[in-house]
Chain A
Amino acid sequence: MAGRGMNLTLKIWRQAGPKAKGEFQTYKLGGVSPDMSFLEMLDVLNEQLIQHGEESVAFDHDCREGICGMCSLMINGQAHGPDKATTTCQLHMRRFRDGDTIVIEPWRATAFPVVRDLVVDRSAFDRIIGQGGFVSINTGNAQDANCLPVPKHNQEKAMEAAACIGCGACVAACKNASAMLFVSAKVSQLALLPQGEPEAARRVVKMVAQMDKEGFGGCTNTYECEAACPAEVPASNIARLNREYMKAVLLSDEMP
C-alpha cells in the first residue's frame, strides 16, 4: 500500500462486540496526505479494508468540525491526539511524521463500555445530564434587555463551562477515569446564571449521585482533564462543583 505521502503503521484496537475479547491489529497504510484529518486517514484505511473484504474499523464521528463531541480516540496515549484544544476530527496528519507508528485505542473507563472497536457507549453522560432536571425558559417575545441582570464575568464563566461538548476526553485522560470536569461544567453553566439558580441545589446533588452510580472514579486534582479537554473547560469548575455540592448538602433542603 506504499505510495506518495506518508507511510504509517497503525496499531488499532479491534473488538467485535461488547462481550468479545479485543486485541490490537497492525495495519500498514501508505500515501497518507499530511493535509488529511485523522478521521479521513481512517476513512482511507477503511476503504482499503473493505476492498480487501475485511471488516472496517468502527469509530465515532459526526460533525467533523469540533462541535458535536462524537469523535473520541486515544491516539498514542493522548485523548484526541497530541494537540491541545483539538478534537480528533480537527487533528491533521501533518502532526505526524512519515514512518510513524500510531497506537489507536478507545476511551477506557468502566462507565464507557466498548461497543465495537473504537466506539464506546457514553450514555452515562446522558443519564447524568438527565438527573440535572430542566430549567424553565419562556419562549415567545424576546425579554426586555437587562431585565434579568447577569454580571459579565459570570456570563463569561458560564459560557466557558457551556463550551463542553461532552466528548468524554476528561474521563479518558484522567488516571482515575473521573468525570468531575464534565459534571462540573454541566453544574457550573447553570449555577452561574439566574435561570439555573432555583434548581441549583437539587441539580448538583442528583448529578453527583448519578456520577457515582455510573462508576466513574474520584478526583485527585491531577488536572489531566483540563489539559486534554478540546473545549478548554477549566478545572476551576471542579472547585465550583465541590463548593456547590457542600453548599447544597449543608444549607439547602435537599436530602442527598
Chain B
Amino acid sequence: MKWLLNALSSSLGRKFVMAITGLLLCGFLVAHLAGNLLLWAGADVYNGYAHKLHEQAALLLVAEIGLFALFAVHIVLAFRLTGGNRMARGQEYAVKQNKGEGDGVGWGRPDSFMFISGLVILGFLILHLSDFKFNDTDGLAPFDKARAVLRTPLRTAGYLTGFLFLFLHLLHGVASTFQTLGINHKKYNQLIRIVGVLFSASVCIGFASCVGWAWAFTGAPSTTPAPAVDQATVSQAEPTPEATAKPEAKSEQTN
C-alpha cells in the first residue's frame, strides 16, 4: 500500500485528505447543532437527549476518538500546507495586489485567511471543551449547565466570535471542497456556491441561536438532579464568569 501513502502525501493527496476531513467535520457540526437546538424544546427534551447520548458510552468513545482523529489530521495538514506555501513563495513581494475576486464575496476574502480562521476555531474549541467536557460542575442538569455557561458576557463574546470565524472558514471551505474533489461543472458551480453560503450561514446562526436562548430563557431551572440546597439559594447578583459554575436563580425566574 506504499502507492496509496505516496499518493496521499503528494500535494494533491494532502489537499484531498483536508477536503474529506473538512467535509466529515461539517457532518459533525450538523449532528452537534441538531442536538443543541433541542435547548429550544425545553428542559425535559434536552436533558432526555443528553442522558440518552451519555448512556451510549462505548459508541461515544468511538465517536470521540474518530472526531479527535479528524481534527488532528485536518490541523496537522493545515500547518503543513500553510508552512509549505510560505516556503514556496520564499521572498515576499514588496507590493501585491489581487486581480480576481476570490470567493466572489467581500468580507476581506475568507479564502485568504483560512489558517487564521482555523486557528480561531481551534481556540474556540479549547474553550468549549474546557467549559463542557472537562468541567464537571456540581451536578447541574445539562440544560441548566448550558444556560449557566453561555449566559455570561465573556462566554457569549467568545462563543459568538468562534461562530463568526467558523462561518468565514466554511464560506470558503465548503465550496472549495468540491473543487479539491474534482467537481467543477458549469451546470452546478452556482449551486455549489449557494449551498456553501447557505450551509455556513445556517450552521452558524443555529449555534448562535443557542447563545441567544441562554439569555432569552427565563423559565425555571430543570427539576432533574440539581441539589435542593443550591436551588433554594436566591441571588440577586448579575451572573459573573465565576458564577457560571453555580446555579443561579434570579427573582424573575422563580415566578
How distant is the Cα of A236 from the Cα of B192 in the complex, in angstroms? 14
Interface string of A103-138 (1 = CB under 8 A from B): 101001111000000000000000000000000000
Given A84-B99, A239-B179, verify A249-B85 contact (CB < 8 Å).
Answer: no
Contact B95 A105 (CB under 8 A): yes
Interface string of B30-42 (1 = CB under 8 A from A): 0000000000000
- Which of B88, B100, B172, B183 touches A227 (beta carbons < 8 Å)? B100
Given A103-B94, A108-B91, A178-B88, verify A222-B111 contact (CB < 8 Å).
Answer: yes
A74 to chain B: closest residue by CB? B93
- Which of A208, A226, A241 touches B100 (beta carbons < 8 Å)? A226
Q: Which residues of A are found within 8 Å of B181, using beta-carbon distances?
A: 242
Contact B10 A256 (CB under 8 A): yes
Q: Check if B222 is an interface residue, CB within 8 A of chain A.
A: no
Contact B11 A218 (CB under 8 A): yes
Given A220-B176, A224-B100, A227-B98, verify A176-B85 contact (CB < 8 Å).
Answer: yes
Chain B: residues with Cβ within 8 Å of the partner, total of: 45
Q: Check if B106 is an interface residue, CB within 8 A of chain A.
A: no
How distant is the Cα of A111 from the Cα of B87 in the complex, in angstroms? 10
Q: Check if A177 is an interface residue, CB within 8 A of chain B.
A: yes
Given A108-B90, A242-B12, verify A222-B179 contact (CB < 8 Å).
Answer: no
Interface string of A73-87 (1 = CB under 8 A from B): 010111100101000
Contact A239 B183 (CB under 8 A): yes
Offer 11 A-B interface pairs, CB within 8 angstroms, sorted by A. Answer: A77-B97, A216-B88, A220-B81, A223-B100, A236-B185, A239-B182, A240-B184, A242-B12, A242-B181, A243-B182, A249-B13
